[in-house]
């Protein structure tokens, strides 16, 4: 089955809905706190300094009442080390700068057209509800990508998935939706042919480089702040919209990147055993799900989740045309997308795209059964993640809520290290040791190989080569945490 345009672009909001803001919850009231290094509040290029008075929540999930999977608890309660900031002067010609820990500034590009409004996320980007900043504030980088950066700027309420049991999107009204501010690479200002989006900062930075895939790429969960001229200080972006949620974006914006440290080091890879219970892969039939592992440089490796649906094909996912073969296209709370396409750069031609997605099980079920979107279940372009011990048959149960809880519990939406905080788009084709990229095994990890080049839609019945995805036994994603610029 060929992925539809909507399914292949499920991380891209296009429409708007009415804003409703009922049932507010304070973020810090339901989660544990930890000390965090935070940026200096001066407007000048002063170094980042620790602020011991700030306490922040671990992880990035804000799903009300959602457990963090115990197997992934260490990665969701890391020590966060400040690395650098990216500042944007949101005016025509304004500088986009990397700011190092010592205050040194490097210009990465410029604003071609500033954003003058925000946009409300549509149902296709339901994942926009799941996350928050790593410092516990609402405003943050929601999706990091080679072709767009999407930030949540409002509201401050938490999302409760249990409210939406048996919800009918055709007749019901939701409590609130996410307000987004977007940043695009070069060529988009020309591609829009004058139909520029008010919610978008158009830049002259090449897609797949700089903040869109270079050493200044930002992790999801990066706090977003703005410079308040009256108070002469940097404040969380939500404070700007608290008085008026429909206000124009402020002029001066700042993201802060952090490196997560677990047991005195940062994870170096994620590995996916590409099978679910009952699958036959490379001559073996598996009685149990494949595991999802996080690994460290000194050899530590632990299982954090299960594969409940394997990937067996590729599709025309938006943005893969900007990424190198093997590069991560997008990371957000509801998806990881990887490129298998050798084409790199802007193109109107969807046939130059190619890649696959990794998605959390409850997110898939909600999109499919509660929002009536094109299902990812039983489609070869999607690997689906569930908690350790998951029953893959629950994917076929159209109930999102079972016994008063999401059907896959604990859920994996916005949970590190897979769907937040760790995987960045950084890629250097001349130096893979400084890149986030994936490679595959056909023999259960005995040997590893670069991603094959696959463009367009492929499935087991149309892709017969030995390198086709249905023959992948393992997928390994290498992780790096560059300081830029």
**pLDDT of amino acid 173:** 65
Other CB atoms closer than 10 Å to residue 396's CB: what's the count? 9
Do 339 and 323 contact (CB within 8 A), yes or no? yes
Do 448 and 476 contact (CB within 8 A), yes or no? yes
Buried-state track 92-116, b at ≥16 Cβ within 10 A, e below 16 = eebebbbbbbeeeeeebbbbbbbbe
3-state secondary structure of 42: coil
Q: Tell me: the pLDDT tens digits for 73-102?
A: 999 999 999 999 999 999 999 999 999 999
Q: Tell me: the pLDDT tens digits for 240-281?
A: 999 899 999 999 999 999 999 998 999 999 999 999 999 999
**pLDDT of amino acid 13:** 31
Say yes or no to pLDDT of 465 above 60: yes
Which residue is listed with tokens 């190092």? Answer: 100
Average pLDDT over residues 114-125: 92
Tokens of 387: 């908690």
Give me the residues paired with residue 476 across strands: 271, 439
**pLDDT of amino acid 403:** 84
pLDDT > 90 in the chain, percent: 71
Say yes or no to pLDDT of 402 above 90: no
The answer to whether the pTM exceeds 0.75 is yes
Side-chain-facing half-sphere of 158: CA atoms under 13 Å: 19
**pLDDT of amino acid 47:** 55
**pLDDT of amino acid 88:** 98
| pLDDT band of 165, cuts 50, 70, 90 | low
| DSSP annotation of 323 | S
Higher pLDDT among residues 27 and 141, named by residue: 141
Higher pLDDT among residues 293 and 402, named by residue: 293
**pLDDT of amino acid 169:** 61
User: In the predicted model, what is the mean pLDDT of the chain?
Assistant: 86
Distance CA 186, CA 189 (A): 7
Q: Tell me: the pLDDT tens digits for 337-378?
A: 999 999 999 998 999 999 999 999 999 998 888 777 778 999
Give first-to-last CA distance, the chain, whole Å.
Answer: 42
Distance CA 62, CA 53 (A): 22
Other CB atoms closer than 10 Å to residue 5's CB: what's the count? 11
Distances (CA, A) of 106 to 88, 103, 112: 12, 10, 18
Say yes or no to pLDDT of 136 above 50: yes
**pLDDT of amino acid 90:** 98
Least confident stretch, 249-253, 372-376, 457-461, 478-482: 372-376
Do 473 and 274 contact (CB within 8 A), yes or no? yes
pLDDT > 70 in the chain, percent: 85
Least confident stretch, 10-14, 169-173, 318-322, 341-345: 10-14
Phi, psi for residue 243 in degrees, rounded to 5: -75, -35
Say yes or no to pLDDT of 206 above 90: yes
**pLDDT of amino acid 2:** 32
230: Cβ contacts below 8 Å, ≥ 6 apart: none
Q: Tell me: the pLDDT tens digits for 10-26?
A: 333 333 333 333 333 32
**pLDDT of amino acid 18:** 34
**pLDDT of amino acid 275:** 98
Distance CA 154, CA 214 (A): 28
Cis check: omega of the bond before 410, within 30 degrees of 0: yes
Buried-state track 398-409, b at ≥16 Cβ within 10 A, e below 16 = eebbeeebbbbb
Cis check: omega of the bond before 379, within 30 degrees of 0: no
Say yes or no to pLDDT of 316 above 50: yes
**pLDDT of amino acid 484:** 87
**pLDDT of amino acid 367:** 87
Distance CA 103, CA 274 (A): 44
């Amino acid at each position: 089955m060929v992925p539809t345009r909507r399914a292949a672009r499920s991380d891209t909001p296009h429409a708007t809905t009415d804003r409703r803001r009922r049932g507010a919850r304070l973020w810090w009231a339901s989660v544990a706190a930890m000390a965090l290094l935070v940026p200096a509040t001066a407007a000048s290029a002063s170094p980042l300094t620790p602020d011991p008075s700030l306490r922040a929540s671990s992880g990035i999930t804000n799903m009300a009442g959602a457990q963090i999977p115990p197997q992934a608890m260490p990665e969701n309660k890391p020590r966060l080390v400040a690395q650098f900031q990216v500042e944007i002067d949101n005016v025509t010609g304004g500088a986009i700068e990397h700011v190092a820990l010592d205050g040194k500034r490097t210009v990465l590009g410029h604003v071609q057209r500033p954003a003058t409004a925000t946009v409300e996320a549509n149902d296709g980007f339901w994942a926009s509800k799941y996350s928050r900043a790593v410092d516990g504030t609402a405003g943050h980088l929601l999706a990091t990508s080679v072709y767009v950066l999407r930030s949540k700027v409002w509201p401050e309420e938490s999302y409760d998935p249990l409210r939406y049991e048996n919800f009918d999107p055709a007749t019901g009204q939701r409590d609130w939706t996410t307000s987004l501010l977007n940043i695009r690479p070069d060529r988009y200002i020309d591609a829009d042919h004058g139909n520029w989006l008010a919610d978008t900062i158009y830049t002259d930075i090449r897609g797949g480089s700089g903040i869109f895939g270079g050493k200044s790429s930002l992790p999801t969960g990066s706090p977003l702040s703005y410079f308040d001229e009256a108070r002469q200080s940097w404040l969380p972006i939500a404070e700007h919209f608290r008085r008026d949620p429909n206000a124009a974006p402020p002029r001066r914006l700042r993201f802060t990147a952090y490196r997560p440290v677990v047991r005195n080091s940062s994870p170096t890879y994620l590995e996916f055993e590409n099978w679910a219970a009952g699958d036959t892969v490379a001559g073996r039939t598996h009685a149990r799900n494949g595991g999802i592992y996080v690994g460290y440089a000194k050899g530590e490796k632990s299982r954090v989740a299960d594969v409940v649906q394997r990937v067996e094909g590729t599709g025309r996912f938006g943005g893969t045309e900007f990424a190198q073969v093997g590069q991560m296209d997008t990371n957000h709370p509801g998806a990881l997308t990887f490129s298998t396409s050798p084409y790199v750069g802007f193109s109107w031609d969807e046939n130059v795209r190619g890649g696959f997605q990794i998605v959390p099980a409850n997110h898939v079920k909600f999109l499919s059964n509660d929002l009536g979107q094109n299902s990812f279940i039983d489609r070869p372009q999607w690997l689906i993640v569930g908690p350790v011990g998951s029953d893959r048959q629950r994917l076929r149960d159209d109930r999102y809520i079972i016994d008063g809880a999401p059907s896959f519990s604990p859920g994996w939406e916005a949970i590190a290290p897979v769907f937040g905080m760790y995987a960045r788009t950084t890629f250097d084709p001349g130096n893979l040791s400084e890149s986030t990229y994936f490679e595959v095994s056909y023999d259960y990890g005995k040997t590893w190989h670069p991603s094959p080049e696959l463009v367009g839609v492929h499935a087991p019945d149309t892709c017969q080569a030995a390198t086709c995805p249905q023959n992948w036994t393992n997928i390994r994603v290498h992780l790096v945490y560059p300081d830029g610029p």
